[in-house]
Structure 1
Amino acid sequence: MYIFRRFNMRINEVAAILGVTSSAVKKYYLLFEKNNYKFTRSKQGYLVFSEYEIELFRKLIYLKNEPGNTVEKSVEILLNKEPQVNKELDLKQLMIQHGIQLNIILDSIKEIDNKIKKLNKKVDKL
C-alpha cells in the first residue's frame, strides 16, 4: 500500500499541478466539504493538501467530463454516497486508481533516477 505524503500547498499550486484555475479547485474542495469530507488546515488557516487529495481532484476532473455526469454527482461517486449501478464506471474508476498509483510509482522512480545521475556525475568528477 502506498503512503500518501502531506503537502503544504496553497490552492493556486494545486491548480497549477492539475491544469485548472484556482476557482475550480476552490469549487472542488467546497463540494467535498459540503459532503462532509474534512480537509486539514495549517495553523495559519491554509488548506493542507495530500497527494491523495490531489489525486482525488484528478479523478473528479475525469469523472465530471463523462457523459451524464456533473461535478456534484462526481463528488458523490468519489465519496461513495451514490450507488454505482454502472459497472463500466466502476471499471473506469478502478483503472483510474491503478493508473494514478502507477504514475506515482513512476514519478518516484524518475526522482530516484535523477538523484542517481547527479551522484554519478559527482563521482565522475572525483
Structure 2
Amino acid sequence: MRPDTQIHTHMCYAEFGDIVQAIDELDADVISLEAARSHMQVARELAAHGYPREAGPGVYDIHSPRVPSAEEAAELLRTGLKAIPAERLWVNPDCGLKTRGWPETRASLENLVTAARTVRGELPAS
C-alpha cells in the first residue's frame, strides 16, 4: 500500500463505549460512526478514550424519512466539535443512503453542506 493511501472504516449501531479500544486498535485513518440518534455520544466516548485519529460521527439519521434541517445538523456538528477537534472532524450521514429515496437524500445532503459551511464560518481563523 502506498504511504498516502488513507484507510476509512465505518461502524453503526453498537455500544461504542464498550469497544472504543478495539476501534482504536483498527488503526484506520478515519472512522465514520452512527451518532445522530445518540446526539454525538460516540464523539464524547472517543474523546474520553483519547482517540487520536480522524472521525466522522454521523449527523443525519438515514433510517428516518425526516429530512434534518441545516440548523439541526449544525447543532450536532457543534456538539461533535466539543469532543473532536475541527481538523479531525468529518461531516457525514450516519450510514449509507440505500434506505432513502433521491429527493430526501438530496435535501438532507444539501442541508449537511449548509450546516458544515455555517459551522466552519464560526470557527476561529487558523
Output the TM-score relative to the length of structure 1: 0.30
* Bigger relative CO (Cα 8 Å, ≥ 6 apart): 2
Structure number with the higher helix fraction is 1
Structure showing greater Rg: 1
